[in-house]
Amino acid sequence: MAACIPDARDPSCVVHTRLEQVRQRVYQMALGSEDCNDAHTLRHESALQVACDVVPHSSSPLSSQPTLCRLENAVNGRATGHGSCRTRRRGHAAEVRFRLLHPAGA
């Protein structure tokens, strides 16, 4: 899923990879966080850091709420044609966006 999300960020400024961001967002949803509002608090949780393959209590915690919002906003209809997702079926990006934004299937 992370490979389907366009990443126009300057590589020299990237702190959190798309994979790390997607992991964080998915695990936060699994913990009951429907939106990104809890990201500021949860980004410092050791268990979540380990689940996201980040060294606990490192100098760089997980993504902040604004960073995760930008991740969600990066998912759009064009994501299907991005990189390794070109061969995936049409509409996949919309489905990913829906599931990312509406974890309960609402």
Residue 58 one-letter amino acid:
S
> What pLDDT, on the 0 to 100 scale, is given for residue 28?
92
Which sign does the torsion angle of CA 48, 16, 81, 35 carry? positive
Q: In angstroms, what CA-CA distances link 35 with 28, 57, 78, 90?
A: 9, 24, 23, 26
Residues with Cβ within 8 Å of residue 38, at least 6 apart in sequence: 28, 65
Could you report the per-residue pLDDT of 54-82, keeping only the tens digit for each? 999 888 899 999 999 988 888 765 554 54
pLDDT at residue 39 in the model: 92
Q: What is the pLDDT of residues 75-103, one digit of tens each?
A: 765 554 544 454 444 455 556 655 656 65
